Structure 1
């Protein structure tokens, strides 16, 4: 069997920083914010200091009666300590459940009910402003990571708790629970084991092979994302200096990168799109970048071209990965400056031999092609083991012969490259790929910050556009850009912050479509 070939070696999350500090004790970690649980540590730490911090707060969790096998939800204000608290929970044998700080209180309350009286680690701000009072009824205990709240236990009050040895858990048991993006409704709770987390590190090791271990790695990924946990573990164990970012503001990013020039940048595709403006910054904040990497989603060719052009390294490259929260990275391709011109953004590359497999299954009995795409299905050692509390839903994601259905449509070329055309739920009749049209519009209109094409409620598909600095759309340039493309409705302009986003900055297309095609007080604005 495929998964048997991968072996069963796992990773103990609770001791990652102990092992990393033993190998690279002085390796630095730079932050663009203060940690809520330890603001006094400042913004330049070492792996040794982080290992000590994890040990300290693991002892506090133990003193609060958190025990092996317990589910511990971490839902607090945005900070790297969300990820660090996951390692603390794992250190005492608990199962960290990371819920994004961007989730609303009602959604968090529903997920807490599904989890069956877990421990909740949150903060004063969340309890006062967002979380409903009933969360105290659906949890075993509420721990406050920053501040205080009636009926909750402050972790600060447990300072000085006796240290406890790290708990070693079987690697085939649940080790981490994160939620899916929630683009199609209430997020699902994806369960990983130590084995699946380790398997997710292997493809990333392949992509990092050309990169020296002294290259600083800048990471701007949701602190509640599974990629943040596996990625941080990998980078720390390799000894890379780490630059951990909460903010994607271009001005602050430029200042940080000018002070600590990264050799690797990993972030969500929409953040890389946002950072295109750094290419022309006078401080040249991207000059030292050897590798750009995105998390699991296809990237627009314009962004690749712009970022590679900003690097002054001899041979920079862009590593694009394709996957999802349920599987980890499945396929990848690399771009160099030689590949920039005319790159096909729909090509997401090839699988990782011996680690991942992919096939495309016909929907109409014909071989899948661009004009007749099929279902993308995969096998991966990094695939989750279940959706917590929704086993039937999990089982329904498999084909009869055991392949995991990604929910994407695409095809493979005769050279073996996988091409992603659309999510199944986003498919629009008469359009072979909305993503391909968006790629073309980005290339033809450099002023675009975002463009999303959604169904038109029975009419032509609606393009929603956001422009840099919220400038008004030049209609003459738009008409020239859409020439030769499938018929589209008149564009609707919005500010970027008006679009519904997931925790990983993806636009919720279905929600956006409902906003545009549902009951309206008047005609749709094209200039808002």
Structure 2
């Protein structure tokens, strides 16, 4: 019944919290931070309170003449109020354009230019210190979520604006514009509609329905990512308390999870990697989790095994979901502790909802050693790339969308992902598979990325727990049975270039290595005198 109701009505972002509050008025959202636009609300708010907040800010936007069909760029300091402001924009029939707080000012200006004179919601810090001066000339009007600036209107000054009724737009009208990860250059602007969002959360709603309604669902993901706007409705419309995290610092997360006891956790793979230390916390912050899930990037088998081992629930599961911002979820598979996790196997398509094919690159049969282009069909596919229709059309082939990934399908139809097209290295079947094996063999590693040097040699960039020097003897032993790699280069994890969803920007990382990025020495004791490893691009020895 729930799936049918969703399929008929669509996502309707503008009235999402109203409908959730009508069914579960006392349900609540717990956050790890105060809202910039409503700091007095606190870190635990009912759905009814949040619905009122969205209604209030929709009316403030209406008061400055934001109208149906207008575009409103939201680029402010990180926080859950980015999501709430997007709902407010949708409530009056306008289209929110969400730009990550992590984007640099020049990139933001280029994307704003592509949107063509939108309204801009930002804050004083961004306007004064992060954005170029030309931003005010590129926008219709600048609105401040916090702070003050002579070239902008403060949303706080619009408190008390007359409430306005929600505006119902066509299911095919753009409801939200998000940007791609930007791992290969300037991000693209992906245009979503109520209908494309509707198609995305239908295949996932069933998983949440398997968990008791009172079980909290914890989400730590980028507040500008399209995934949040499908995951959140599923949770709230089924009456689940929601735990929203801005930060992934393990100590703070452990304290919050110990208090709230989530039954489902969804976050970025690299965040789960960072949370491996929670498995050893005597308070058991992960003990109550029934389902772990991530949809943003490849995840390593070691991390999945650690998460499942930390749960004390009967038969906990990890949901491996393969998808992309442009098309939504495409394939899925669940794993238990009893079933060894294959990091390359991303599962089966959703019957009747998504389709997958793998096209040969060279006319020869597609296999593990000769992976092909992964192409998919989905009703959740975006409408276009805003201002770049030609780039969108370049990825569409007779209705099939090229994912930019390489893989193959087994005789049973299971899809295996080997590499991104742009990250593949000649002579290596899968850099991701090698990374999985090395991370499993070396527990001291907290990240490992393989990128090519100027001669095409695969170079491992490694990060260790607490930045301890990598032990050369252990590294050499871990290489047994693997293709020949270049000498490892040790970096601090926080220095790796990342996207809003914590993906490592591999192309940028490779460019930094070639350019000879500044050396930042690991903080712990050096390696033995007779051995050495490279630290952040240089040779170091005891």
TM-score (norm 1): 0.96
In structure 1, what is the Cα distance between the partners aligned to 2:234 and 2:205?
A: 8
Tell me if structure 2 keeps the 8 A contact 1:491–1:526: no
Partner of 2:524: none
Cα deviations by residue, 1:148-175 (Å, 9 ceiling, x for unpaired): 1111000000000000000000111111
**How does 1:90-169 map onto structure 2 within 5 Å?**
90-169=90-169
In structure 1, what is the Cα distance between the partners aligned to 2:291 and 2:10?
A: 27
**Aligned-pair distance for 1:364?**
1.7
**Aligned-pair distance for 1:299?**
1.3
**Aligned-pair distance for 1:365?**
1.6
Q: Secondary structure at the match of 1:66?
A: coil
Tell me if structure 2 keeps the 8 A contact 1:8–1:195: no
Partner of 1:67: 67
Tell me if structure 1 keeps the 8 A contact 2:11–2:233: no
Partner of 2:528: none
In structure 1, what is the Cα distance between the partners aligned to 2:449 and 2:323?
A: 20
Partner of 1:451: 448
**Aligned-pair distance for 1:402?**
1.9
Cα deviations by residue, 1:317-353 (Å, 9 ceiling, x for unpaired): 000111111011111110111113xx32100001111
In structure 2, what is the Cα distance between the partners aligned to 1:526 and 1:513?
A: 18
The alignment status of 1:277 with 2:277, answered yes or no, reads: yes
2:369 to 368, 371, 375: 371
Q: Secondary structure at the match of 2:338?
A: helix
Tell me if structure 1 keeps the 8 A contact 2:35–2:80: yes
**Aligned-pair distance for 1:358?**
0.5
**Aligned-pair distance for 1:459?**
4.8
Tell me if structure 1 keeps the 8 A contact 2:59–2:164: yes
Tell me if structure 2 keeps the 8 A contact 1:296–1:328: no
Partner of 2:379: 381
In structure 1, what is the Cα distance between the partners aligned to 2:241 and 2:168?
A: 27
Tell me if structure 2 keeps the 8 A contact 1:492–1:527: no
**Aligned-pair distance for 1:215?**
1.2
**Aligned-pair distance for 1:235?**
1.0
Tell me if structure 2 keeps the 8 A contact 1:298–1:321: no
Tell me if structure 2 keeps the 8 A contact 1:297–1:321: no
The alignment status of 1:466 with 2:463, answered yes or no, reads: yes
The alignment status of 1:437 with 2:422, answered yes or no, reads: no
**Aligned-pair distance for 1:527?**
5.5
Over aligned residue pairs, what C-alpha RMSD do you find? 1.5
**Aligned-pair distance for 1:234?**
1.7
The alignment status of 1:402 with 2:399, answered yes or no, reads: yes
1:418 to 396, 415, 419: 415
Partner of 2:349: 351
In structure 2, what is the Cα distance between the partners aligned to 1:238 and 1:367?
A: 45
**Aligned-pair distance for 1:211?**
1.6
Tell me if structure 1 keeps the 8 A contact 2:117–2:140: yes
Tell me if structure 2 keeps the 8 A contact 1:199–1:381: yes
Tell me if structure 2 keeps the 8 A contact 1:190–1:384: yes
1:508 to 479, 492, 505: 505
In structure 1, what is the Cα distance between the partners aligned to 2:124 and 2:9?
A: 39
In structure 1, what is the Cα distance between the partners aligned to 2:391 and 2:210?
A: 40
Change (3 A) 1:154 1:443: same
In structure 1, what is the Cα distance between the partners aligned to 2:149 and 2:487?
A: 50
In structure 1, what is the Cα distance between the partners aligned to 2:195 and 2:9?
A: 6
Tell me if structure 2 keeps the 8 A contact 1:75–1:100: yes
**Aligned-pair distance for 1:8?**
7.7
In structure 2, what is the Cα distance between the partners aligned to 1:351 and 1:527?
A: 48
Q: Secondary structure at the match of 2:417?
A: strand
Structure 2: gaps of 5 or more residues: 1-5, 520-533
Tell me if structure 2 keeps the 8 A contact 1:266–1:294: yes
Structure 1: gaps of 5 or more residues: 1-5
Tell me if structure 2 keeps the 8 A contact 1:494–1:527: no
Tell me if structure 2 keeps the 8 A contact 1:71–1:97: yes
Tell me if structure 2 keeps the 8 A contact 1:493–1:526: no
Cα deviations by residue, 1:196-243 (Å, 9 ceiling, x for unpaired): 011111121133242222210000000000111221122111111000
**Aligned-pair distance for 1:521?**
8.7
**Aligned-pair distance for 1:380?**
0.7
Cα deviations by residue, 1:120-143 (Å, 9 ceiling, x for unpaired): 000111112101111000000000
Partner of 2:529: none
Q: Secondary structure at the match of 1:186?
A: coil
In structure 1, what is the Cα distance between the partners aligned to 2:206 and 2:430?
A: 30
Change (3 A) 1:48 1:362: same
Aligned length: 520
In structure 1, what is the Cα distance between the partners aligned to 2:246 and 2:438?
A: 30
**Aligned-pair distance for 1:21?**
0.2
Partner of 2:525: none
Cα deviations by residue, 1:162-196 (Å, 9 ceiling, x for unpaired): 00000000111111100000000000000000000
**Aligned-pair distance for 1:9?**
5.2
The alignment status of 1:328 with 2:332, answered yes or no, reads: no
Structure 1 residues 296-305 or 493-502, which shifts more? 296-305
Partner of 1:200: 200
In structure 2, what is the Cα distance between the partners aligned to 1:441 and 1:454?
A: 15
Change (3 A) 1:274 1:182: same
Q: Secondary structure at the match of 2:352?
A: coil
Tell me if structure 1 keeps the 8 A contact 2:18–2:51: yes
In structure 2, what is the Cα distance between the partners aligned to 1:321 and 1:55?
A: 34
Q: Secondary structure at the match of 1:226?
A: coil
